[in-house]
Amino acid sequence: QVQLVESGGGLVQAGGSLRLSCAASGSIFSCNAMGWYRQAPGKQRELVARITSLGSTNYADSLKGRFTISRDNMNTVYLHMNSLKPEDTGVYYCKCNIYDLEYWGQGTQVTVSS
């Protein structure tokens, strides 16, 4: 069973920055891909950014230029968030894909005040 531990969320003023971290453990296999998703109150969960084991990335179009996903190995990924806006508020979830299986973290709250 894969465990994902997220950290780095918190309260920040608009225009500020945060860095989220996600560490995966518990499997002899590395994640083929890892990603960040977010869910705002009353809205569906949406993709923020994703990175594969080959380093390919994709982002939600609305977030390009402000958010950057990176990794230092395939089981630890980061989300660098700059120029944060109140609409970025939500719970941010990390996901790991190992072949056809997917694993989710418990989420970390990000609150951006205006």
Q: pLDDT-based confidence at 73, cuts 50/70/90?
A: confident
Which range, of 14-18, 56-60, 73-77, 109-113, averages the lowest pLDDT? 73-77
- The kind and range of the H/E element at 62 are none
Q: What average pLDDT does range 40-49 have in this prediction?
A: 96
21-35 pLDDT, tens digit per residue, is: 999 988 777 889 999
Q: What is residue 74's predicted lDDT score, i.e. its pLDDT? A: 66
The phi and psi torsions of 61 (rounded to 5 degrees) equal: -55, -40
Average pLDDT, the chain: 93
CA dihedral 22, 28, 29, 30 (to 10 degrees): 30
76-114 pLDDT, tens digit per residue, is: 899 999 999 999 999 999 999 998 999 999 999 999 999
Q: What is residue 15's predicted lDDT score, i.e. its pLDDT? A: 97
Q: Is the pLDDT of residue 75 over 90?
A: no
